[in-house]
Structure 1
Amino acid sequence: MSRETRPSAAGQEPEPERVHLTREGIRDSYADRIRRLRAAGMPVLSEEELEANRAAALAARPADADADGSVWMFGYGSLIWNPAFHFTEARPSRIHGWHRQFCFTIFMGRGSRDRPGLMLALDRGGCCDGLAYRIAPQAVEEETAIIWRREMLSGAYHPRWVRAVTPDGPVRALTFVMNRDHPRYAGRLPQPEVAECLAFARGELGTGAEYLFNTVEHLQDLGIRDRRLEVLAAAVRRCQDAAREVSPG
């Protein structure tokens, strides 16, 4: 993860040092991320637990998965606009039984202890449109190790094999669904509360609003319309506009 200094306006609190999430950063900054998560009082999987979790998920590969040993990953949020792993193919896809929801409270990344943020997760029910990425057989070990270090350090998700329907036929794909027993599972929150949170939460990866806007924009670029996210994005912009009217500049 590369960093850059973000100067703040006079009289305002300094912005957190901005971090850009990259494949190399995820791979190389593992120990630092573990340290910072533990310092923030968050539950963290040990390296052994993380690897055991990954190995178990790959061992649970369904019989109808690609016979050549490649692995498909289904992305529904930031994996759409910043996958940060190597893949050979990407297809628009839909899964059933899960929907995209801002139900995961965060204190780092795009939030802080003073102003917690929210992240998307897959929660039970409905359906979800996203992207399915094919990882070549010879790259599965290295690339899934990077994905697990990105997604699974806090144990907030369960890896799950799902049936992803694509224009070229269904594929079996791995994805990450919300662990409802995790202490940071927020459940279904009222939209005004989610909008207020995303409008102003900020951390080293940027703002919650940027995360939402990027997701909506890239879904639309793929020809995917998520009406609930689009309505939420409009509500976040209204919150930000109202705040600017109160405190111009």
Structure 2
Amino acid sequence: MLWSEHASAPDALPVPEGDLWVFAYGSLMWDPGFPHEAILPAEVEGLTRAFCVRSEGHRGTVAAPGLVVGLLPGGRCRGLAIKADGRHKAATLDYLWRREMALADGYVPRRVIARLDDGRSIEALTFVADLEHAAYAGGLPVEEAARRIATATGQRGTNRDYFERTLAQLVRLGIEDLGLARLGQAIVALA
């Protein structure tokens, strides 16, 4: 296994010998933040996208936490496979560690097999929701999740902007996500 599922430091994400692919399913789809060589549509079996990770920094505060996307067991998830620039693999892993583990919290790095639309399968790094972490907020009623997303603001902006940018990217890519569509309807109903 290339990446520990319970890693506690950046050195737990060793630089792979070959290509470094990252499976993006949320904000990494519209804001990867690292140099890359390719971005291709991809799908991962056995994981589902959900607004299930509490954000008390990026998109909310301790007093008014927001919700960001995580991957939960079950189903399948369409997203993007991003091939990191080979000259910057170590820096990319460091950046991803800071963004997804140190600053966001509530995730576990995991390697997955992503199927590209051209039929190839690749190994990719992704970050799944840590169901044992205090930041895990799965199982909230849709109305409560919508209220948090509609009202929370953090260091990187409003939670609603994060939600809308994620949904807009899914629409651009032709990805239908019924859970996010239902959540979006509940957010609009609050206005």
| AA in 2 matched with 1:79 | L
Q: Which has the higher helix share?
A: 1
Query: Is 2:10–2:93's contact at 8 Å kept on the other side of the alignment?
Result: no
Return the match for 1:181 from 118, 125, 132: 132
Q: Which residue of 2 aligns with 1:122?
A: 71
Identity, in percent, stands at 36
Runs of 4+ in 1 over 6 A off after TM superposition: none
The reply to whether residue 166 of structure 1 matches residue 111 of structure 2 is no
Residues 91-114 of structure 1, C-alpha deviations (whole Å, 9 max, x = no match): 111101111111111211111122
The letter for the 2-side match of 1:102 is: F
Report the CA distance shift for 1:103/1:136 in structure 2 as closer, same or farther (over 3 A): same
User: Which of these residues, 84, 91, 97, is aligned with residue 142 of structure 1?
Assistant: 91
Counterpart for residue 166 of structure 2? 215
Higher relative contact order (CA 8 A, sep 6+): 2
How far does residue 179 in structure 1 lie from its aligned partner after superposition?
1.3
Please say if 1:81 is aligned against 2:30: yes
Q: Which one-letter code corresponds to 1:105 in the other structure?
A: R
Q: Note the C-alpha offset of 1:49.
A: 4.1
Q: Which has the larger radius of gyration?
A: 1
* Residue 197 (1) aligns with residue 156 (2): no
The reply to whether residue 108 of structure 1 matches residue 108 of structure 2 is: no
Instruction: Identify which of 31, 38, 46 aligns with 1:97.
Output: 46
Residues 101 and 123 in structure 1, CA contact (< 8 A), matched pair in contact too: yes
More strand by percentage = 2
Encode CA deviations 1:94-137: one digit per residue, 9 max, x unaligned.
10111111111121111112211111111111111111001133
Structure 1, gaps ≥5 residues long:
1-47, 62-67, 242-249
SS in 1 for 2:123: strand
Uncovered stretches (5+) of structure 2, i.e. residues with no partner: 1-6
Is residue 2:152 matched to residue 1:238? no
Q: TM-score, normalised by structure 2?
A: 0.89
Amino acid at match of 2:117: P
CA distance in 1, matches of 2:71, 2:139: 12
TM norm structure 1: 0.69
